Amino acid sequence: MDFARRDVLLGSAALLLAPGGTAGAASARPLGYAIVGLGGYGLGVIIPQFAHCTHSKLVAVVSGDRSKAERVAAEHGLGSGAIYSYADFDRIRDNPAIDIVYVCLPNAMHAEFTIRAARAGKHVLCEKPMAVSVAECEAMIAACRAADRKLMIGYRCHFEAYNLEAMRLARSGAAGKVRYVRSEHGFIQRDPAKWRLRRAMSGGGSLMDMGIYSLQAARYMTGEEPVAVTARESTDRSDPRFREVEDILDWTLEFPSGAIASCQSMYSANQNHVLLMGDRGRIELEPATRYDGNHMWVGADGRETAVTPPPGPRSTQFAGQLDHMSECAATGRQPIVSGEEGLRDMRIVAAIYRSAREGRTIRL
């Protein structure tokens, strides 16, 4: 993404998120969300966030577990008509209270439920990674375009105060001319039975799950699109967790300005870090992309100081993300992290895997 376009997007994010901004007036009522997948993220993280939203509310749940769905619906004052199974999901077309479907399912199910939602006439917010292949991403974009519905990817860091401030500082030249970015993201996978370690459900290992954060950071911190990637993998295939998917991926991105990004993802260590080095200093975040508790330092030559970003108009990144999607659905504006943004990442992800497999640099 070039600087000019990124600045326009950041500007529009600020506008949409500004308290009392124009977007708030676009929708007289909060838009209704159906959450698809009541797992760790959909149920544990996202549903409680509607309490912090201005333009968004929970109106339906979609689950394979009827009793869980009934419990969640009752807790949020929803009737039995607001509960759908995966099989009867398409009936959402007859429920005008549902404006937006939020897909919080395993990665390999993102494309199917995004396309079914669009065909049912609903806007879609889909979790990262967007899907498990470039072809699936293209099909999702095409389905939403054909239905004239918005498609947004759950890249919550674009609504997180530290990451927004880091982007702003990088663009303002706080570290000088960008020379390199480093980003590592991972966590220790302990349960070999988890879907994240099953290729058919996840589409891949640490790169698909956590490497997306490193890749995103490389792109939003430099404000550039990579032109080449060189990758290598390190996986102990005798470890029962890693029979089907990779553990460590290490890749280098080359950018048109001459900046490079050195990125890693892993499932055998806890890591969450973004560093931008310029010719006049550094911007460093650690942890960088957590749900909360992120930290940032800016400066040079051992005299870095901790920076606390100004509080945003929404109390959490999740509420910012949910309300941004509602505002885009209401106004017809393109989300700042659209399906096309997810597709860009998936093209690079495919090149990273290919580079590691073939042992050579891939031009993008």
Give me the residues that bind ligand NAD (CB under 6 A), please: 37-42, 64, 104-107, 127-128, 154, 156, 195, 201, 209
Question: Is residue 249 a contact partner of residue 356, using CB atoms and an 8 Å limit?
Answer: yes
Question: Is residue 84 a contact partner of residue 314, using CB atoms and an 8 Å limit?
Answer: no
Q: 145: closest CA among 118, 170, 185?
A: 118
Question: Is residue 261 a contact partner of residue 44, using CB atoms and an 8 Å limit?
Answer: no
Q: Count of alpha carbons within 13 Å of 129, Cβ hemisphere only?
A: 33
- Measured from the CB atom, the residue of 37 and 312 that comes closer to ligand NAD is 37
Q: Which residues pair with 228 in a beta bridge?
A: 254, 363
Question: Could you write out the DSSP letters of every residue in 50-104?
Answer: GGG-SSEEEEEEE-S-HHHHHHHHHHTT--GGGEE-STTGGGGGG-TT--EEEE-
Does residue 293 sit in helix, strand or coil? coil
State the DSSP H helix or E strand holding residue 211, giving kind and residue range, or none if neither: none
Is 213 one of the catalytic residues? Answer: yes
Is 267 one of the catalytic residues? Answer: no
Pairing of strands 31-36, 100-103: parallel
Burial of 5 (0-12, 13-18, 19+ CB in 10 A): exposed
- How many other CB atoms are found less than 10 A from the CB of residue 322? 32
The residues carrying an active-site annotation are 128, 213
